[in-house]
């Protein structure tokens, strides 16, 4: 069982994937990056903090909120929307740096991407 949080691109969500229906379906189907978990418990879903790359304060806030609810996040998935923003738009996030920072600072595993469609 993996307790996960999903971050989505604040600029793209609800434009390319309305209501995040793609990620919810992919979680049920264990599609693509969700396939690494035998079971998934979605703890939280929120935006990336917006440009220009405010992910770290956003995850800090998320971590505090979740802790206050006596919950934990083990894995943070950066949505496929974020991956596409980094690869094809002008997203300022450097994934390799961000992964190291988040894993070190918050003790979570960070995975790039979610669904394949």
**Residue ranges in contact with ligand SF4 by CB under 6 A:** 6, 8-13, 17, 20, 22-23, 48, 50-51, 53, 79-82, 85, 89, 91-93, 114
Nearer to ligand SF4, 67 or 117 (CB): 117
Nearer to ligand SF4, 10 or 37 (CB): 10
Report the nearest approach of ligand SF4 to the CB of residue 68 (Å). Answer: 23
Residues 6+ apart with CB under 8 A from 78: 7, 48, 95, 98, 110, 111, 112, 113, 114
Report the nearest approach of ligand SF4 to the CB of residue 42 (Å). Answer: 11
Nearer to ligand SF4, 63 or 83 (CB): 83
Residues 6+ apart with CB under 8 A from 75: 2, 3, 4, 5, 37, 108, 109, 110, 111
């Amino acid at each position: 069982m993996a307790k996960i949080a999903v971050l989505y691109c604040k600029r793209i969500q609800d434009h390319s994937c309305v209501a995040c229906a793609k990620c919810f379906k992919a979680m049920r189907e264990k599609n693509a990056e969700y396939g690494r978990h035998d079971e998934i418990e979605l703890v939280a879903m929120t935006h990336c903090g917006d440009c220009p790359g405010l992910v770290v304060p956003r995850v800090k806030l998320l971590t505090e909120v979740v802790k206050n609810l006596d919950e934990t996040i083990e894995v943070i998935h950066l949505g496929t929307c974020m991956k596409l923003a980094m690869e094809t738009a002008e997203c300022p996030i450097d994934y390799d740096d961000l992964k190291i920072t988040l894993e070190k600072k918050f003790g979570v595993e960070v995975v790039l991407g979610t669904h394949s469609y």
